[in-house]
Amino acid sequence: MVKSLWDYRSFVWGGVRRDLQLRYFGSVLGIAWLVIQPAGLIAVFFLVFTTVFPNRVIDETVNYGAFLCAGLIPWLMFAEIVQRGHGCFLENAQLIRHSNFPRILLPMTTTLSAMLNFSLLLVIYLAVFAISGQAFSIHIIALPVLIALLGGLAFSLTVFLALINVYARDITQAVPFGLQLLFWLTPVVYSQTAMPEVLARFLAWNPLAAVIDGFQRTIVFHTWPQWHRLLYPLAFLVVSLLLSRLVYRRVSGTLADEL
């Protein structure tokens, strides 16, 4: 399986390039959109949570702007993979109806494209961070691990949703709402420590919480991620990959019949 996917590397890499081209070269502002969108969101959350609801979000000693970026950029990567990937089989119906290739390449391309995009954004952000005098520490070498884990979670969820979406278009309806819900149930714009006990216990079930927390620790708090807390998202990843594989093996051969 892995070997046969390797044979298609130029298609996947070409797909990532075409995806970026379609987004940035087709628009007037081009590559600036990579920065504009998240910067706008960060500005809005910063204003709302420092002026309108100033309390309880995070304790005073931490730079809220930095905290926000550290959680929001990874979240946006996750959301983009799911948002753009859950329709990948429907959008590429023509390709699937005409050619014989491993269907898994389509969500893979979307995932890699978003991961590349947001890794670049994270680097830009860290550079701005450094220039503005905020130090960051050796701990950021843990970032690739966190990005891979988050990308993996998004990928397995996307494959599962995209396959079901072919047969039950409800997924298209549910995804924007589901992502919104998940966003507020993940400590991205607020700190886990600011949560009441009851809610915090509930949040422990969310596999994204520990991963986002890892980003915030390495970038803002200059510590290592709590590795033992990452075991849960890792186990979640393994289970969801197995589940997606089960569905994929069942339907990938006849996906073209339904498109």
The 8-class DSSP code of residue 135 comes to -
Least distance in angstroms from the C-beta of 53 to another protein: 41
Nearest of 73, 72, 69, 65 to residue 49 by alpha carbon: 65
Least distance in angstroms from the C-beta of 244 to another protein: 12
- The phi and psi torsions of 256 (rounded to 5 degrees) equal -60, -25
* Residue placing its CB nearer to another protein in the complex, 167 or 202: 167
250 counts as binding another protein under rule CB under 8 A: yes
Residues 173-202 that bind another protein (CB under 8 A): none
96 counts as binding another protein under rule CB under 8 A: yes
Q: Which two structure tokens, joined as six digits, stand for 205?
A: 């079930």
Q: Which one among 2, 100, 131, 177 touches another protein, defined by CB under 8 A? A: 100
C-alpha span between 231 and 224 (Å, rounded): 14
The single residue listed with the structure tokens 């919480």 is: 209
The single residue listed with the structure tokens 């503005």 is: 132
203 counts as binding another protein under rule CB under 8 A: no
Stretches 68-76, 98-106, 140-148, 215-223: which one binds another protein (CB under 8 A)? 98-106
Residues 13-72 that bind another protein (CB under 8 A): 14-15, 18, 22
7 counts as binding another protein under rule CB under 8 A: yes
124 counts as binding another protein under rule CB under 8 A: no
C-alpha span between 220 and 233 (Å, rounded): 21
Residues 6+ apart with CB under 8 A from 4: 102
Q: Please work out, in degrees rounded to the nearest 5, the angle formed at the alpha carbon of residue 182 by the alpha carbons of 233 and 255.
A: 80
Stretches 6-14, 55-63, 140-148, 233-241: which one binds another protein (CB under 8 A)? 6-14
C-alpha span between 16 and 104 (Å, rounded): 14
C-alpha span between 181 and 97 (Å, rounded): 35
Q: Which one among 33, 53, 167, 184 touches another protein, defined by CB under 8 A? A: 167
Q: Which one among 3, 51, 60, 98 touches another protein, defined by CB under 8 A? A: 98
Which residues in this chain contact another protein in the complex, by CB under 8 A?
7-8, 10-11, 14-15, 18, 22, 94-101, 164, 167-168, 246-247, 250-251, 253-257
